[in-house]
Structure 1
Amino acid sequence: KVGADNIDLEAAAKYGITVANVPAYSPRAIAENGLTGAMYLLRKWGYYHRKMRRGDFTRSTELMSYEIFNQTVGIVGLGRIGAAAAEMYHALGARVIGYDPVYNASLEPFLDFVDFETLIKESDIVQVHIPLTPENKGMLSANEFAKMKDDAILVNQSRGELVDTAALIVALKYHEIGGAALDVLEGEEKIFGRKFEDVGSLPDEYTELINLPNVVMSPHSAYYTKMAVKNMFFQSMTDIERTLSGKKAFFKVN
Structure 2
Amino acid sequence: MRIYVYDVAEFERDIFKAIQKETTDEIALTNKHLTLETLEEARGFDGVSVLGYSNVSRKVLVKMKEYGIRHLSTRTIGYDHFDMTAVRELDIHAYHAYYNPNNVADFTVMMMLIMLRKAKISICRALVNDFSLDGMMGKEMRSLTVGVIGTGKIGSTVIRNLSGFGCKILANDSYRNPSIEGLAEYVELDRLYKESDIITLHTPLTDENYHMINDESIYKMKKGVILINTARGQLIDTESLIKALEEEQVGGAGIDTLEEETGVMHVHVGTRIVDNRALLYLKQFPNVLYTQHYAFYTQEAIESMVRCGITSIQSGIRGEVTPCEIN
Same fold at TM > 0.5: yes
**Contact 1:50–1:213 (CA under 8 A) maintained in structure 2:** no
Higher relative contact order (CA 8 A, sep 6+): 1
Distance 1:129 1:227 in 2: 20
CA gap 1:116/1:199 in 2 versus in 1, 3 angstroms: farther
What are the residue-to-residue correspondences of 1:68-87 with 2, within 5 Å? 68-87=141-160
Would you say 1:177 and 2:234 are equivalent positions?
no
Q: Which residue of 1 aligns with 2:77?
A: 2
Would you say 1:56 and 2:130 are equivalent positions?
yes
Would you say 1:100 and 2:173 are equivalent positions?
yes
Q: Decide which structure has greater helix share.
A: 1
Q: Which residue of 1 aligns with 2:301?
A: 228
Q: Per the alignment, in what secondary structure is the counterpart of residue 31 of structure 1?
A: helix
CA gap 1:211/1:200 in 2 versus in 1, 3 angstroms: farther
1:192 is displaced (CA, Å) by 0.8
Distance 2:122 2:224 in 1: 17
**Contact 2:156–2:179 (CA under 8 A) maintained in structure 1:** no
- 1:133-179 C-alpha deviation (Å, 9 max, x unpaired): 11111111112222222222100111111101001011112211111
**Contact 1:4–1:21 (CA under 8 A) maintained in structure 2:** yes
Question: What amino acid does structure 2 have at the position aligned with 1:143?
Answer: E
Q: Which residue of 1 aligns with 2:67?
A: none
Q: Which residue of 1 aligns with 2:108?
A: 34
1:57 is displaced (CA, Å) by 1.3
What are the residue-to-residue correspondences of 1:1-254 with 2, within 5 Å? 1-22=76-97, 24-60=98-134, 62-198=135-271, 200-253=273-326
CA gap 1:89/1:164 in 2 versus in 1, 3 angstroms: same
Question: What amino acid does structure 1 have at the position aligned with 2:195?
Answer: E
CA RMSD of aligned residues (A): 1.8
CA gap 1:42/1:202 in 2 versus in 1, 3 angstroms: farther
Distance 1:211 1:200 in 2: 17
With 240-249 and 223-232 compared, the bigger mean Cα shift is at 240-249
1:14 is displaced (CA, Å) by 4.8
**Contact 1:26–1:223 (CA under 8 A) maintained in structure 2:** no
Question: What amino acid does structure 2 have at the position aligned with 1:18?
Answer: H
Q: Decide which structure has greater strand share.
A: 2
Instruction: Provide structure 1 residue ranges, at least 5 long, that are not aligned to the other structure.
Output: none
Higher alpha-carbon Rg: 2
1:198 is displaced (CA, Å) by 2.4
Instruction: Provide structure 2 residue ranges, at least 5 long, that are not aligned to the other structure.
Output: 1-75
1:77 is displaced (CA, Å) by 0.6
Question: What amino acid does structure 2 have at the position aligned with 1:32?
Answer: D
Number of equivalenced pairs: 252
